[in-house]
Structure 1
Amino acid sequence: MSATAPRALPLADPAATARLGAALAAALPAHGGLIVHLYGELGAGKTTLVRSLLHALGHHGAVRSPTYALVEPYTLARGPAYHFDLYRLADPEELEYIGIRDFLDADALLLIEWPQRGGGFVPAADLVVQLDHAGTQRHATLTAASATGQALLTALELPAAQV
C-alpha cells in the first residue's frame, strides 16, 4: 500500500460530525469488510459519527453506544455491522470471551470505539478516525491503514460546506 496523507477536517458542531458519518457511509464499497478504529476523548463525537454512518447505510432504529454490552450488531443491506465500545473493558482478554473472531466476517463492518483498550485482541484497522476537541469545535483526522482504507479515503467526497 502506498501511503496516503491523513485527511484533517474541522467539525463545527455535532451536525457536521453526523454529516461526516453519512459521507463515510456513501464512500463505503457496496460489499466487503472494513474495520474502523475510532479514537477520541469522551464526548468527542465517536458515537455520533457511528450513528449517522449506520443510519446512512439504512438502519432505521436507535443506535446507542454499547458501553456495557461491548458490542451491538446491526443487519444492513451491505452486510452485517458491529459497533464495539471498549471503554468499560476491564481486561482485553474479555474480547476473546465474547468471541471477537466470530465478528470477522468477510463482509462485516466493524466500528470499534476505544480500540486501544482491547490490546492485541482488536483486529487491525483499515481506517483510523481520530476525533478531538478544538475549543468549542471538534476536529477529525482520517488515516488509511490498509489498501481498503485508502480506497475509502479516495472515494470520500466532502464538499467544503458539508463539514
Structure 2
Amino acid sequence: MTMALALPDLAAMDALGQRIAEKLAPGDVIALTGSLGTGKTTLARAIIAALGHVDEVPSPTYTIIETYDDLRIPLVHADFYRLDDPGETDELGLDDYREGAVLLAEWPDHAGGFAHEPGCLAIALEKVGDGREAVVTPGTSWQSRWP
C-alpha cells in the first residue's frame, strides 16, 4: 500500500510530520531515505516538534544519535550516514536506546535497514521541481494507522 505524497513547500512537510506524530507508537521506526538535500532532517524536525519538542533540533550527523525523552513518546533520532558497517549500531548501543521509544532513522540502509520490522514506516524523499515528493510504505503494524 505504497502512497506518493506531494510536498510542495515547508508547510506540507510540517503537516506530514504532524500526521505521522499523531499515529506513532513505542517501537515504531520512521525510516527516512533520499539523497542529500531532499528533506530527511526537515521531516525529522517536523515530527519531533509535533511530538512537543520546542527547542532546536540538531542534526545528528556528527553525534549519530540524539535522544528526546521528554516527548509524548520517547524518541531516538539517528543519522546513520557516517556508519561504514551495520554492525556499528551494536557499538552505539542502538537497541538500548530503542527500548520503549520511536526510532527516527536517517540513512537507515547504512544501519542494515528496518523495512523488515512491522512498525516501520519507510519514507523515501525525492526532489520534484521546487518541492519534494514522499513515497510512503507502511509496515504491517502501520496498515491500520495509515493513511
TM-score (norm 2): 0.89
Match of 1:119 in 2: 112
Runs of 4+ in 1 over 6 A off after TM superposition: 120-123
Indicate whether 1:9 and 2:9 are aligned: no
Q: Deviation of residue 126 (structure 1)?
A: 1.6
Q: CA RMSD in A?
A: 2.0
Structure 2's unaligned 5+ residue stretches are: none
Aligned to 1:99: 93
Structure 2 partner of 1:57? 51
Match in the other structure for 2:66: 72
For the residue of structure 2 that corresponds to 1:139, the secondary structure is strand
Is structure 2 residue 142 aligned with structure 1 residue 133?
A: no
Give, in whole Å, the separation in 2 of the partners of 1:136 and 1:121. Answer: 29
SS in 2 for 1:140: strand
| Contact kept in structure 2, 1:92 and 1:121, CA below 8 Å | no
| Residue of 101, 119, 122 corresponding to 1:108 | 101
Q: In structure 1, which of residues 38, 42, 64 is the aligned counterpart of residue 36 of structure 2?
A: 42
Q: Which whole-Å deviations, capped at 9, do the CAs of 1:61-89 have from their partners, x for residues lacking one?
A: 11121001111000134331000001111
Question: Which segment drifts farther, 55-64 or 88-97?
Answer: 88-97
- Matched residue type, 1:76: D
Q: Distance in 2 between matches of 1:152 and 1:83?
A: 21
Q: Give the secondary structure class of the aligned counterpart of 2:95.
A: helix
CA shift at 1:6, angstroms?
1.4
Aligned to 1:152: 145
Provide the aligned length of Structure 1 versus Structure 2.
Answer: 146
Report percent identity of matched pairs. 41
- Correspondence for 1:159: none
Query: What is the distance in 1 between the residues matched to 2:61 and 2:124?
Result: 19
The aligned amino acid for 1:9 is: L
SS in 2 for 1:111: strand
Normalised to the residue count of structure 1, the TM-score between the two structures is 0.81
Q: Give the distance between the partners of 2:65 and 2:116, measured in 1 at CA.
A: 14
Deviation at 1:119, TM superposition (A): 2.1
Tell me, yes or no, if the aligned pair for 2:76 and 2:98 is still in contact at 8 Å.
Answer: no
The gaps in structure 1 that reach 5 residues or longer are: 155-163
